[in-house]
Amino acid sequence: MIEFWYDFASTYSYLAAFAIEAKAEAAGLRVVWRPFLLGPLFAAQGWTDSPFNLYPAKGAYMWHDMARECARLDLPWQPPSVFPRRSQEAARVALAVPPDRIAPFSKAVFAAAFAQDQDIADQSVLAALLENLGLPAAAVLARAASPDIKQLLRTQTEQARALGLFGAPSFMRGGELFWGNERIDLATLQPGR
């Protein structure tokens, strides 16, 4: 089992979302998809915006690096016209879909955000993604807005903080934390315990 922790606004989480299944399968691992919100973790350390916006040199490099990585990995890439996108709504919906659909739904959200420059906080965008997967959009969106799901996302974000997460994507494997898409091979390949 490997836990994949991601935020839908996170550029490098997009890369990980489209790589984790094949790498986990090759290692005989089941992937547990864990959406959470980076915002509260960033806010707790005094950041009110993405570090890529707060620190311009780091941001300029990230945009260049993402284009380079997407070209290398043969993934479509369209830099979002608004960054970071609000990811709370999409994360709630991901927690509201049937558990066996969270992977395809999450990949669809990432593609909408980073290959099609769509506003993934928009209910009609989320509804279209659900419908494309044959899911009952109105019912899922209603469930996503319920107190239970809101609480589940808060709990999951608090759990991320408690596990020592500070960025996304992150992976938990055998009780050990791996941060960054650059650690995806190590996280999937290291011997289990």
Question: Is the distance from CB of 35 to CB of 106 less than 8 angstroms?
Answer: yes
Give me the least distance between CB of 55 and a copy of itself, in Å please: 5
Give me the least distance between CB of 53 and a copy of itself, in Å please: 12
Q: Total residues contacting a copy of itself (rule CB under 8 A)?
A: 25
Beta-ladder partners of 179: 170
Pick the closer one to a copy of itself by CB: 97 or 160: 160
Q: And the tokens for 117?
A: 């420059």
What's the CA gap between 112 and 135, in Å, rounded? 17
Pick the closer one to a copy of itself by CB: 53 or 116: 53
Q: Which x/- pattern over 86-125 shows residues binding a copy of itself (rule: CB under 8 A)?
A: ----------------------------------------
Member of 21, 23, 27, 55 binding a copy of itself (CB under 8 A)? 55
Give residues 22-51 in contact with a copy of itself (rule: CB under 8 A). Answer: 41, 45
Pick the closer one to a copy of itself by CB: 80 or 167: 167
Q: Which of 184, 6, 17 is nearest to 115 (CA)?
A: 17
Member of 61, 124, 132, 142 binding a copy of itself (CB under 8 A)? 61
Measure CA 63 to chain center. Answer: 17
First to last CA, the chain: 11
Residue 171 main-chain phi, psi, to 5 deg: -130, 140
Spatial neighbors of 180 by CB under 8 A, at least 6 apart, are: 12, 167, 169, 170
Q: And the tokens for 160?
A: 């991320």
158 touches a copy of itself (CB under 8 A): no
Give contact residues for a copy of itself (rule: CB under 8 A): 41, 45, 54-55, 57-58, 60-61, 64-65, 68, 72, 161, 164-167, 176-180, 182-183, 186
